[in-house]
Amino acid sequence: MPRTRYQLIRTTDASSVALISGLQARLYEAEAQIRLGNFTGALATLNALRATPPTYVLPGRTIPALTNLTDPVTEAARVDLLFREKGFWLFGLGHRFGDMRRLQRQYNRTQAQTWPTGT
């Protein structure tokens, strides 16, 4: 029987909701670095987040350090890596739809390349 997974971001109906966090700012910074052609800086930003995950991501829980990312070499793979990381870090916060739309609009991805399809 599958286990039910509950979100752990908002602990009560009265929990505060941040409009933007330092984590989101670092992810935007990494995206800007990629757009400027500085993937070394973007990779350093992402790996810094993975080395010391912010404590406010899951209040009251400790997130262990994650292994470093490596450079996937091609520009398209670098963008894929960034948006994959953003998807994991911002899961459940309502940012994915905008990111997927931006992949099409700003990164010239087709609908088939952007949106998952199939079973």
Sorted by sequence, the CB contacts under 8 Å of residue 91 that are 6+ apart come out as none
Query: What per-residue confidence (pLDDT) applies to 7?
Result: 57
* Amino acid sitting at position 49: L
Token duo for residue 116:
């998952």
Residue 43 has a CB neighbour count (10 Å cut-off) of 21
pLDDT digits (tens, 9 = 90+) for 14-26: 766 666 778 899 9
Residue 5 pLDDT grade (very low, low, confident, very high; cuts 50, 70, 90)? low
pLDDT digits (tens, 9 = 90+) for 43-101: 999 999 999 988 877 777 788 999 999 999 999 999 999 999 999 988 877 788 989 99
What is the total residue count of the chain? 119
- The pLDDT of 91-119, averaged and rounded, is 88
Q: Which of 92, 82, 70 lies closest to 28 in space, CA to CA?
A: 82
Query: What per-residue confidence (pLDDT) applies to 57?
Result: 73
Query: What per-residue confidence (pLDDT) applies to 118?
Result: 81
Sign, Cα dihedral of 34, 40, 41, 47: positive
Higher pLDDT, 22 or 31: 31
Query: What are all long-range contacts of 91-97, with beta carbons under 8 Å and residues at least 24 apart?
Result: 92/7, 92/9, 93/9, 95/24
Does the pLDDT value for residue 4 go beyond 70? no
Query: What per-residue confidence (pLDDT) applies to 117?
Result: 83
Token duo for residue 114:
């952007």
Token duo for residue 4:
């039910």
Residue 6 pLDDT grade (very low, low, confident, very high; cuts 50, 70, 90)? low
Query: What per-residue confidence (pLDDT) applies to 101?
Result: 93
Q: 57 and 66 in contact (C-beta within 8 Å)? A: no
